[in-house]
Structure 1
């Protein structure tokens, strides 16, 4: 019979994941030794490490809110992570991919909180504080070998968060379901979907975040964003590409990629 190995301390798991992200290397999965509850504690420790280096919190993100993404990753539960200042890439800018492990991109809808959200904010307060919506691209980059992980693994790894790009903000509307989402690589359509793939309606993702916030939220500043989740499956990124996402009636957002020599 194989002995069950105890999980490393939370601080050690966070340190390993932090180093993997900073060095662009893949590490072995933690697997069954890591519970979902402990994984969120690791994620909080990971956030504190980044803030201690001078980064500041810029928002939050949801994961596994689309059926396509759940099927691609083999999971069935929505998860939440954090965003910091070093993760944002400006619309149309170039992102160097050297230092990434295995980056992928997905089109999303983003919400903006027009006022600060305290840690004890109610679901009603969180939803009422949203003042704008925008198209977004999220670059995910799991720090695990072979882009393979358990639900607890990916939560500990801050839901594979890497970078994000925001399009122009437009006034918040509650009419967000059923909008066509198109992802293009170098002008060619790579993925299509609709905003209804995001839990049936991006507003449902906002409500889901509000419910999860009281358990996992740490306070958000005014102007913080929420990435509501992917509308299509993620597409692998390679240097020298132009990535565009178009959300019907909301707008578009673009990113260029480059390698070490660009």
Structure 2
């Protein structure tokens, strides 16, 4: 489906996902470069409003996996030539959440071009509480603390993997810069615009989801809490997956209008 067909199907792009920014998972998939894909109004959801996510049979047939990520929303147009602090100024908020990825290719066997053709494997993004830097904190302190965030990923109370924001090209802002670099060399696609939501890549392995799973994260982020507005760091994420009959769930509310608090 090309972009015109996507618009015709009622899918409004609201942002981009960046794939394969975590180089530690490259050998698992035999993929050695990152890519990106669009996210849509019906695939970008509030985690607080969707603590339970219902798959239908078709969605489950696409071998879903879960990825804990750092998400951000653009306030202005970023550029690859910008410094870290200039990129930070382009961001209105950050959040922690889950991306659910999918594969139309059996057993997750594909090449780089195939993943790009499949929308960079995006299925849905679930976004938690949003945060922003404290006015009293230096930009450099916030950027450093953002990169120091660590995450433990649990399935049904069992620790499945550990990771952190440093796995995302060293810092989520580096992932944003990398996406800018890619787009500045792709004339067919527009640059990132104000209001777009960007999810920066998995901080752990991407792990298979089964119906009935309850996934949650715990975070180590003392440094981030000390430099975030009102001392509020990322909120630990949690979601339960269930099966339902019917069509793919459509949620269009609060896609780009997620809280700026």
User: Taking structure 1 as the reference length, what is the TM-score of the superposition?
Assistant: 0.74
Distance 1:220 1:210 in 2: 7
Task: Provide the C-alpha distance between the structure 2 equivalents of 1:223 and 1:90, rounded to a whole number of angstroms.
Answer: 16
Corresponding residue number in structure 2 for 1:260: 244
Q: Quickly say closer, same or farther: Cα 1:84–1:246, change in 2 above 3 A.
A: farther
Q: Does 1:111 align with 2:72?
A: yes
Size of the aligned set, in residue pairs, is 214
The one of 117, 124, 129 equivalent to 1:163 is: 124
CA contact (8 A) 1:62 1:78 kept: yes
Counterpart of 2:173?
A: 203
Q: 1:189 to 1:161 in 2, by over 3 A?
A: same
Matches for 1:122-133 after TM superposition, within 5 Å: 122-123=79-80, 124=82, 127=87, 128-133=89-94
Q: How far apart are residue 164 of structure 1 and its match?
A: 0.7
**What's the counterpart of residue 190 of structure 2?**
218
Task: Tell me how far 1:261 sits from its aligned partner.
Answer: 6.2
Give RMSD over aligned pairs.
2.2
Secondary structure at 2:143's aligned position in 1?
Answer: coil
Cα 1:70–1:61 change in 2 (3 A) is same
Counterpart in the other structure of 1:134: 95
Q: In the alignment, is the contact (CA less than 8 A) between 1:241 and 1:257 conserved in 2?
A: yes
Helix, strand or coil at the partner of 2:68: strand
- Of structures 1 and 2, the one with the larger relative CO (CA 8 A, separation 6+) is 2
Higher mean C-alpha deviation, range 167-176 or range 75-84: 167-176
Q: 1:145 offset after TM fit, Å?
A: 2.3
**1:137·1:245 contact (CA, 8 Å) conserved in 2?**
no
**Alignment check: 8 A CA contact 1:87 1:162 kept:** yes
- Deviation of residue 221 (structure 1)? 5.2
C-alpha contact 1:165 1:254 (8 A) present in aligned 2:
no
Q: Give, in whole Å, the separation in 1 of the partners of 2:217 and 2:35.
A: 23
Shift of 1:96: 1.9
CA contact (8 A) 1:136 1:245 kept: no
Q: Does the alignment pair 1:83 with 2:39? A: yes
Please say which of residues 96-105 and 156-165 is displaced more in the overlay: 96-105
Gapped runs of 5+ residues in structure 1?
Answer: 1-13, 15-44
Q: For residue 30 of structure 1, what is the aligned residue in structure 2?
A: none
Distance 1:193 1:232 in 2: 5
- Which of 149, 174, 199 is the equivalent residue of 1:179? 149
Per the TM alignment, residue 187 of structure 1 is displaced from its structure 2 partner at its CA by: 2.6
**Retained in 2: the 8 A contact 1:183–1:190?**
yes
Pick closer, same or farther for the CA change 1:51–1:254 going to 2, 3 Å.
farther
CA, structure 1 residues 135+157, in 2 after alignment: closer, same or farther (shift >3 Å)?
Answer: same
The alpha-carbon deviation at position 178 of structure 1 amounts to 2.5
Superposition deviation, residue 179 in structure 1: 1.7
- The match for 1:232 is 204
- Structure 2 stretches lacking a partner, 5+ long: 134-141, 222-233, 247-261
Q: Pick the structure with more helix per residue.
A: 1
Paired residue secondary structure (2:123): strand
